[in-house]
Chain A
């Protein structure tokens, strides 16, 4: 409890901390505010807990396949049988080892959601900053496009694409990314609009810098704090959506071992063999909670920075 309170008071004291920590930014960390934010975020307890959880899940996903007792497709015990010496957490609906499939099933979720997040962040940041910098009709057109994509609940847009083209992994990465993009763009446009007003942008224009250079090397380095928060947030949601698509049976196809797919395959037997559903559900839940804790820590650190900046 007391540690948790320290975290919260730290945020409320962000003002002072921000001023104290502000000075070195101008000297050694200029243009590297994100480093400062991450450093500060890493000192918060909740970020550390989040990092520990994410680290554990990533380790399971990466090294799980190496230590798994069985192959993910091997028949080891009677279908839906409970925990036994042959299968630590029992067998799934097709008699495969639940624990081995759990150890094998994390990698797909991780890389698909990381790729989708990357697509969303790159497209969204580009659109948002270009809209903020260009203003006028470019801004209008981009934001209208944004509104259209925002009108679809994320999962529904992904399902629409899958129903048209089929359950392809590249399509899932692309569409999940594209559903993130307008949400990222909206935030980045807002952050960019504030920066565009500042003098150094005008100075760069006067000097005659190219427009894409102004966006990429003047605007971008000054919106890193919302960008970091968006990155964490989108990763959290990506994991949820990517797992959900597999869970609906529209993502990875059998016999792949994948946490989302495992839930789909075993949900009808949830009464007799709860482990086959519970283990992947727990894994996905922990992963999203972990990324969200990290994101929250980063957001708190970024607020501290902003407060320091304003005063």
Chain B
């Protein structure tokens, strides 16, 4: 008994190391593709080729089944697993769950010791520098990095679960290196940023798993948590640029007064003006001071909402414009809350009906509408709905003095409809394109394979991702409305800032012109900034790693 036990233990050691060697040999051959996918692995012939016992081969195959590289079916034996798209995606799903969980644990605990992780990153960087594509050495360094990351969580079970995925990851990286090489190291480096900042990541945060398609996690979780510490610097930089642009804009607007030919006061009042009036206006515009001092006075006036007096009516500009700003804002607001959901609906609908008659008709209509200048649309609407065919809405939007636009909704209908018709073509076209791209992506395919109802796939998975590119265009279109209202308000004689601007330009009422221009530019800068920030916040950009 004892001798048997001895010999058994001896052979066990020997066999374990033999198994290890066979395992390594087979694993490499499978990963490198020397044994093609779907190829049966027969114990007898393998044992013969490798010159080992059948038991070592059997042991190794069992291990490979564990690692997911080999499939085992009773009565049919073992064969190298065929990695379908779903399998590939599934590896990433599992890794995302494990690695995200690990990182969350790391960040929840005390500050982690990152020296090892840094070392593996440096390793990866050094290895990657010598290669121009993904090679075995790079894959090794890559996997070492991710294993170190999971190890930091201090959970042996997480680490073990992660290790079982290593072989499959290796295989994926080897055969489907969809990851863009350019951002390979940089994206790994980004992983360190939140860890060293030691702030809990937002729930949607996910590590850059090489070659991983964008995660299909519903956006709802993104909305609940908007903090995204990684991009604080980016956001600060973006805000700084916005302020700089606005300052430069103020220089351009101010330069308009300097550009008045000859004496600005005479230019505004005309040649017949009495010297007294010219002198008063010169005083108002601070024309007796130096240009620099004129500018600083003007700028500080704007910053304190003291916009000076209208050259035409002598009324303070703020008083003159306050009601009109409200009216214009109401008009733009009504137009936006109709136009934005409508464009999304049209875009999604046409993307789903792609290349069918409905899509072609919509595409032609949007092409025509996009071409038409807004005043042409406005006059067209008047001819159809106000004076020509029907007499439903008023052709002009005159308001009794002192009353607000929202007290007379009928006067808002046609101006708002004009803006909607001008904006929807652009946004819906972008939405359609972005939606088509998303519908063709692997994660939508995966959501469908998971058996989710189509409605759920479209509205929870596809649309939220497709909206991101549309944010920028929407902001641009909203900003465009700040200029678009000028013509629309003029056509309908709607009492807003646009109509005020046209009047002021005709009267050369520079304080009013400058104020409205400054306002429109500020709206543009602000909306653009808001769109950029929104894009940063809703795009966990580590997920944009590409397919």
Contacts and interface: CB of A to CB of B under 8 A. Distances in A.
Given A151-B521, A244-B373, A144 B245 contact: yes
Contacts of B78: none
Cβ-closest 6 pairs across A and B: A153-B483, A240-B373, A292-B371, A163-B505, A164-B256, A151-B521
A7 to B, nearest CB: 9
Contacts of B486: 153, 155-156, 159, 248
Nearest to A7: B360
Interface stretch (A84-92, A117-125, A214-222, A270-278): A270-278
Interface stretch (B139-147, B247-255, B300-308): B247-255
Contacts of B504: 163
Interface stretch (A57-65, A66-74, A282-290): A282-290
Q: Indicate the member of A12, A239, A281 with the most B CB atoms within 10 Å.
A: A281
B371 A236 contact: yes
Contacts of A240: 372-374, 376
Given A152-B517, A156-B520, A160-B256, A278 B383 contact: yes
Contacts of B453: none
Interface in A285-310: 285, 288-289, 291-293, 296
A285 B380 contact: yes
B372 A153 contact: no
Interface in B367-392: 367-368, 370-376, 379-380, 382-383, 387-388
Interface in B101-152: none
25 contacts: A8-B355, A152-B252, A152-B521, A153-B484, A153-B524, A155-B486, A156-B517, A159-B517, A160-B517, A163-B508, A164-B257, A240-B373, A240-B376, A247-B375, A248-B490, A248-B502, A249-B506, A250-B502, A270-B382, A274-B388, A281-B376, A281-B383, A285-B380, A288-B371, A293-B371
B357 interface: yes
A160 B379 contact: no
A288 B355 contact: no
Contacts of B379: 263, 267, 270, 277-278, 281
Nearest to A148: B248
A274 B380 CA distance: 11
B383 to A, nearest CB: 6
Interface in A139-166: 144-145, 147-157, 159-166
- The A interface is mostly helix, strand or loop, or mixed, namely helix
Given A1-B360, A4-B360, A263-B379, A155 B371 contact: no
A243 interface: yes
B209 interface: no
Interface of B: 241, 244-246, 248-249, 252-253, 256-257, 259-261, 355, 357, 360, 364, 367-368, 370-376, 379-380, 382-383, 387-388, 395, 479-480, 482-484, 486-487, 490-491, 501-502, 504-506, 508, 510, 513-514, 516-517, 520-521, 524-525
B387 A165 contact: no
Contacts of A249: 502, 506
Nearest to A162: B505
A277 B357 CA distance: 34
Given A153-B482, A288-B372, 17 more contacts: A5-B355, A8-B360, A147-B245, A150-B524, A152-B252, A153-B484, A156-B516, A164-B259, A165-B259, A165-B260, A241-B373, A250-B506, A263-B379, A270-B387, A285-B372, A285-B380, A288-B376
B513 A4 contact: no
Contact of A271 (B252, B368, B387): B387
Given A153-B482, A277-B379, A296 B367 contact: yes
A239 B374 CA distance: 12
A161 B256 contact: yes
Contact of B525 (A5, A151, A155, A296): A151
A254 to B, nearest CB: 14
B317 to A, nearest CB: 14
Q: Indicate the member of A148, A164, A289 with the most B CB atoms within 10 Å.
A: A164
B371 A291 contact: yes
Contacts of A12: 355
A243 to B, nearest CB: 6
Interface in A242-261: 243-244, 247-250
Contacts of A147: 241, 245, 248
A148 B483 contact: no
A12 B491 CA distance: 41
B472 to A, nearest CB: 13
A163 B524 contact: no
Nearest to B260: A164
A282 to B, nearest CB: 9
Given A160-B256, A248-B490, A281 B380 contact: yes
Contacts of A247: 375, 487, 490
B528 to A, nearest CB: 8
A9 B387 CA distance: 42
Contacts of A156: 482-483, 486, 501, 516-517, 520-521
A82 B314 CA distance: 43
A276 B296 CA distance: 48
Contacts of A163: 256, 504-505, 508, 510, 513
Contacts of B252: 148-149, 152
Given A160-B517, A271-B395, A244 B375 contact: yes
A296 B520 CA distance: 30
Interface in A9-66: 9, 12
Contacts of B506: 249-250
Contacts of A5: 355, 360
A159 B257 contact: no
Contact of A1 (B357, B380, B387, B487): B357
Contacts of A241: 373
Q: Indicate the member of A12, A156, A281, A289 with the most B CB atoms within 10 Å.
A: A156
Nearest to A147: B245
A289 B360 contact: no
Contact of A270 (B249, B364, B372, B395): B395
B311 to A, nearest CB: 11
B483 to A, nearest CB: 2
Contacts of B248: 144-145, 147-148
Contacts of B525: 151
B487 A248 contact: yes
Nearest to A157: B517
Nearest to A270: B387
B373 to A, nearest CB: 3
A293 B367 contact: yes
Nearest to B376: A285
Nearest to B252: A148
A289 B371 contact: yes
B524 A151 contact: yes
A267 B387 CA distance: 12
